[in-house]
């Protein structure tokens, strides 16, 4: 079952269960995916976004909400921070399990070896390989410095 189908089924279940937080969060995901579909059509991609791109969209949404929750907590708006955390929990249900630090290190080493990377100039190829294979399963903001250290 594709990711879009799971999200659509989740929307239907949330409607039946009258779970407003889940419903609104899943609708936001659906809207973001459809926005990317429309943007892709303008570039000639008629198939729509792939599951890997949907995972990337959802990972971005989690990061946005984490940042918002942090800002709300710093501002003393705990009810808004709790709402952001609830949305993060819903989104993460649809993301694959995050890799552990050891698994990330192993994946980075394998990507460097597979790409034949020898210097920092090859970082783009390594990151591209990791993003295509592990979309939504690792935080690429923290992986970048790791790759840089291994190539530097």
Domain ranges (residues) in the chain: 3-93, 101-151
What is the CATH code of the structural domain delimited by 101-151? 1.10.10.410
pLDDT > 70 fraction of the chain, expressed in percent and rounded:
99
Per-residue pLDDT reduced to its tens digit, 63-115: 899 999 999 999 999 999 999 999 999 999 998 888 888 888 898 888 888 88
CB atoms within 10 A of CB 46: 7
Give 54's pLDDT tier (boundaries 50, 70, 90): confident
CB atoms within 10 A of CB 117: 20
Question: What average pLDDT score do residues 33-40 get?
Answer: 90
Give 2's pLDDT tier (boundaries 50, 70, 90): confident
Per-residue pLDDT reduced to its tens digit, 135-145: 778 878 888 88
Look at residue 74 in the predicted model and tell me its pLDDT. 95
For the chain, the distance separating the N- and C-terminal CA atoms, rounded to the nearest angstrom, is 41
According to the CATH classification, is domain 3-93 in 1.10.1510.10? yes
């Amino acid at each position: 079952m594709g990711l879009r189908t799971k999200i659509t089924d989740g929307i239907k279940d949330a409607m039946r269960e009258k779970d407003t937080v889940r419903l609104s969060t899943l609708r936001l995901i659906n809207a973001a995916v459809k926005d990317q579909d429309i943007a892709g059509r303008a570039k000639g991609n008629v198939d729509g976004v792939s599951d890997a791109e949907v995972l990337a969209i959802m990972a971005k949404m989690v990061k946005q909400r984490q940042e918002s929750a942090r800002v709300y907590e710093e501002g003393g708006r705990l009810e808004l921070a709790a709402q952001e955390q609830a949305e993060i929990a819903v989104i993460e249900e649809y993301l694959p399990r995050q890799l552990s630090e050891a698994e990330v290190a192993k994946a980075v080493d394998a990507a460097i070896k597979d790409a034949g990377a020898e210097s920092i100039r090859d970082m783009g190829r390594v990151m591209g390989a990791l993003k295509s294979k592990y979309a939504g399963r690792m935080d690429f903001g923290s992986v970048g410095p790791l790759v840089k250290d291994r190539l530097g």
